[in-house]
Structures are given as C-alpha cells and as structure tokens.
Amino acid sequence: MLIGLASGYDRTRLRELGAGALLHDVGKVKIPTEILLQHHERLDGSGYPRRLRGEKILEIGRIVAVADVLCAMTTDRVYRRKVLPREAVRYLKAAADKFDQRFVRRLALRVAAFPNGTFLRLSTGQLAVVVRQDPRNTERPVVRLLADAGNRPIEPVEVALAEASDLGVALVLDDIPEDVRRALSARGGAE
C-alpha cells in the first residue's frame, strides 16, 4: 500500500492493490495460471509461473513482488532468521535485473531501516535503542543512549542521528547485553 500511495494510486487502485496483495497466495491451486497475480515473475524472465519479462508483468504484479520479498525477508522462517528491513531493501536494490527499481526506491523511502525498539551499538561504542523514525533520513533514526562504550548505564538522552554526523550505527544487537539490563534494572531504568 505504501508503494501504491507513493505511486499516486487513487482509492480504487489502492483497494485493488491491497486486495491483490492480501490474497496473492490464497487459492493458487485452483486459480487458472493465466489469471494468477504475477508477484513471482521477475523482470529478467527468471520468475514463474509464465517466465514473463519486463513490461509484460503487470504493474500491480511488480509492486507486490517487491513487497512480497520485503515481507518474506523480514519475517523469521524455519530455514533462516529474519533480517532488518534495510538488508531486504539492499537485496532488492542489488537485484535490479529482477525488481522494478521505481518501486524499490519508493519503498526504501518509507521503510524504517532500524525499526523502533531496535538495539544498536553506535560507532562510539555506546548502546542505544531506536525510539522513533526521523523523516529526514530513514537510515538515521532518533535513538536513546542507554550505556557508554563500557556498558555502564548513562543518563538516557535522545539523539537524532540525522543531526549527529559524528555518530553512526556500528552493530545491530538482538537485545541489551545482560550486564546493562541488570544495571538499568537496579537503577529503575529498564525499558
């Protein structure tokens, strides 16, 4: 839907896109191949079911293909762990021969590179948590600093990474390190 909005779709086209995206995998077994939604087709002809190429793939199919890959990559699967949206967008950008880059760019501008609640180790070694997105730059959210480079809790302060050119994201953490969690809990500042 975000891609459709960014593409200027009106309410009717958004409704079609939304319904098609929600139902894209439902009932594939009984739907004739010629009317299947084309979200598994790829611009280079490597997709399925009909190995369509380029503009022969309907626009709605090209949009849903981009959204479907983002969704699949950012969801845990039995055979692999999910990745952050920024990694999925990087994959989509690198696969320019397979995905319509107009829609990849429109999605990239609207997807949080680091979703709220993501724990980060900054380039200074400080520990931070993403508290909100910054519309100026989806790669540089607003974070709350929690601990210094030695994992010692500090007085929480919010920093807009878009305004802090000296700070960058060095590492994405699955969780707060246990020693920091204990220290924050002892201080009454665990979140």
For the stretch 25-40, pLDDT in tens is 665 555 555 555 888 8
Q: Compute the average pLDDT of residues 125-153.
A: 93
Instruction: Give percent of the chain with pLDDT exceeding 70.
Output: 91
Q: Which CATH superfamily is domain 2-108 in?
A: Hypothetical protein af1432 (1.10.3210.10)
d(CA 128, CA 105): 28
Q: Which residues pair with 159 in a beta bridge?
A: 143
Whole-angstrom distance, CA of residue 129 vs CA of residue 112: 14
Helix (H, G, I), strand (E, B) or coil at 145: strand
pLDDT interval class at 21 (50, 70, 90): confident
Of the ranges 56-60, 171-175, 178-182, the best mean pLDDT one: 56-60
- Average pLDDT over every residue of 3-17: 92
User: Within the chain, what is the greatest distance between any pair of CA atoms?
Assistant: 63
pLDDT for position 29: 53
What is residue 20's predicted lDDT score, i.e. its pLDDT?
A: 79
- Reported confidence tier of residue 11, pLDDT bands at 50, 70, 90: very high
Tally Cβ neighbours within 10 Å of residue 178: 9
Question: How confident is the model over 168-184, as a mean pLDDT?
Answer: 85
Residues 6+ apart with CB under 8 A from 114: 84, 86, 120, 130, 139, 141, 169, 172
For the residues 84-111, what does the mean pLDDT come to? 93
pLDDT: which is higher, 36 or 73: 73
Residue 54: which of 65, 45, 46, 63 has the closest Cα? 45
Q: What is the mean pLDDT of residues 154-169?
A: 94
For the cut 90, the answer to whether the pLDDT of residue 181 exceeds it is no
Q: What is the Cα–Cα distance from 19 to 100, expressed in whole angstroms?
A: 21
Minimum mean pLDDT among 24-33, 43-52, 103-112, 155-164: which range?
A: 24-33
Q: How confident is the model at residue 110 (pLDDT cuts 50, 70, 90)?
A: confident
3 state SS of 78: coil
Angle between helices 59-73 and 11-22 (to 10 degrees): 50
Q: Where are the domains of the chain?
A: 2-108, 119-187
Tokens matching residue 79 = 């055979």
Q: Is the peptide bond before 115 cis (omega within 30 degrees of 0)?
A: no
CB distance 3 to 13 below 8 Å: no
Give yes or no for residue 190 having a pLDDT over 60.
no
Q: How many Å apart are CA 67 and CA 74, to the nearest integer?
A: 11
